């Protein structure tokens, strides 16, 4: 920690360059330190890459800078983005300015803390199982996970390429939407909730493995306001995938680390090392079955225009919690939409979900406009 950053939000501060004109002109951008920036140390939150300086910049960062954002820092994260608490053994645990003593969530916790503390205006994070939306909920921000494949992920250290996404964190939906427009190269949709059928999701679908997640009525708190804005709210559900999808996640994570694990296992923190050890034991047949299940599940099309759900729907855990004990609970309403490949936006603990980016952004803009009216 430093006097300028008492939250361990940042790993490397960057000398700001003059802002280019554009829709994001002058916004201070904290880039998750999983994302390459040419000439600037990029550690991936790890000891192994502590002195790594890339020679190229990820396309997502280039697009934001071209639109006027100014990179001012590389943000702390859970090691290799594989965890939900941003407890980092090499760069320190990220602290929560919004809820002192509580976790920032992860793995993009440094981005969220930097924005919440006023050290940055916006952030660029990654989301493989909730890693943008969870910190947004824990830190009272907005976090958008675009649909899979909508924003380029080149120059980002992979965790699980079938589920990896890159997206914005910000204080407002408007700023997150403006960043999405630049990242996706698409026009902003008009705000709309009136006339939409919104399904309230009380039980998230399982992604396989453990017991089905329990029901949670936290989204009920948002129904009245959705209806005031002209939406029709109905009970809804999402079917589970036809098989356990976890073997694909573990297989791709193991593949992403093949160059350094197990050869350099002692240079990993205990938390991620334990997960990689489990990943080595996945059977090829189970991976094939999981891959087929993901492909089949991604063909599902909902009968509603949009879902409303909690982002986490539980109390934010203490900053010193055991990550392995809270990870499934905190991501129950998050991870399924990485597996499905859908878009989802967190506005604090409110989450709006749909297959298309434009649908969640349009609804979120309408929600924010009504809140500020």
pLDDT tens digits, one per residue of 319-350: 999 999 999 999 999 999 999 999 999 999 99
On average, the pLDDT of the chain sits at 97
pTM of the model: 0.98
pLDDT band at 3 (very low <50, low <70, confident <90, very high): confident
- Residue 131 bears catalytic tag: yes
The token pair that represents 158 in the structure block? 């992979």
pLDDT band at 228 (very low <50, low <70, confident <90, very high): very high
Q: How many CB atoms lie within 10 A of CB 2?
A: 9
Section 260-275 average pLDDT:
98
What would you report as the CA-atom Rg of the chain, rounded to the nearest whole angstrom?
A: 19
- Residue 107 bears catalytic tag: yes
Eight-class DSSP state of 288: H
pLDDT at 214: 84
Is 90 exceeded by the pLDDT of residue 209?
Answer: no
Q: What span, in angstroms and rounded, lies between the C-alpha atoms of 45 and 125?
A: 13
Section 301-326 average pLDDT:
98
Is 80 exceeded by the pLDDT of residue 102?
Answer: yes
Q: Are 333 and 351 in contact (CB under 8 A)?
A: yes
pLDDT band at 240 (very low <50, low <70, confident <90, very high): very high
Q: Which residue is catalytic, options 107, 108, 256, 362? A: 107
The token pair that represents 182 in the structure block? 């630049």
Q: In terms of Cα–Cα distance, which of 130, 160, 156, 159 is closest to 145? A: 130
Q: Which residue is catalytic, options 46, 108, 131, 206? A: 131
pLDDT at 67: 98
Section 227-248 average pLDDT:
97
pLDDT band at 227 (very low <50, low <70, confident <90, very high): very high
pLDDT band at 211 (very low <50, low <70, confident <90, very high): confident
Is 80 exceeded by the pLDDT of residue 2?
Answer: no
Q: Which residue has the higher pLDDT, 214 or 231?
A: 231
Q: In terms of Cα–Cα distance, which of 128, 191, 140 is closest to 169? A: 140
């Amino acid at each position: 920690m430093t006097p300028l950053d008492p939250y361990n939000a940042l790993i490397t501060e960057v000398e700001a360059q003059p802002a280019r004109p554009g829709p994001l002109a002058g916004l201070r951008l904290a880039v998750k330190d999983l994302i390459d920036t040419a000439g600037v140390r990029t550690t991936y939150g790890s000891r192994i890459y502590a002195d790594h300086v890339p020679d190229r910049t990820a396309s997502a960062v280039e697009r934001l800078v071209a639109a006027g954002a100014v990179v001012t820092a590389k943000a702390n994260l859970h090691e290799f983005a594989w965890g939900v608490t941003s407890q980092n053994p090499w760069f320190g645990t990220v602290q929560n300015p919004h809820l002192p003593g509580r976790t920032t969530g992860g793995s993009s916790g440094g981005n969220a803390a930097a924005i919440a503390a006023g050290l940055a205006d916006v952030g660029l994070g990654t989301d493989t199982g909730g890693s943008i939306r969870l910190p947004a909920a824990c830190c009272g921000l907005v976090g958008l996970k675009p649909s899979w494949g909508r924003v380029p992920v080149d120059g980002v250290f992979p965790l699980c390429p079938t589920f990896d996404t890159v997206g914005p964190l910000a204080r407002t939906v408007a700023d997150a939407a403006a960043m999405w427009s630049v990242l996706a190269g698409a026009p902003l949709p008009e705000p709309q909730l009136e006339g939409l059928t919104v399904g309230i999701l009380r039980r998230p679908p399982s992604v396989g493995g453990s017991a089905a997640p329990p029901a949670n009525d936290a989204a009920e708190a948002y129904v009245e306001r959705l209806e005031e804005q002209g939406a029709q709210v109905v009970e809804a559900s999402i079917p589970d995938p036809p098989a356990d999808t976890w073997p694909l996640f573990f297989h791709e994570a193991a593949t992403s680390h093949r160059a350094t694990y197990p050869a350099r296992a002692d240079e990993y923190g205990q938390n991620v090392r334990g997960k990689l050890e489990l990943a080595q034991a996945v059977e090829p047949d189970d991976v094939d079955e999981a891959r087929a299940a993901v492909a089949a599940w991604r063909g599902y099309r909902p009968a509603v225009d949009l879902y409303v759900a909690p982002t986490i729907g539980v109390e934010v855990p203490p900053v010193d919690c055991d990550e392995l004990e809270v990870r499934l609970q905190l991501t129950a309403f998050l991870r399924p939409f990485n597996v499905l490949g859908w878009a989802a936006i967190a506005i604090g603990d409110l989450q709006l979900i749909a297959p298309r980016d434009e649908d969640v952004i349009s609804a979120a803009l309408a929600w924010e406009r009504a809140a500020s009216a």
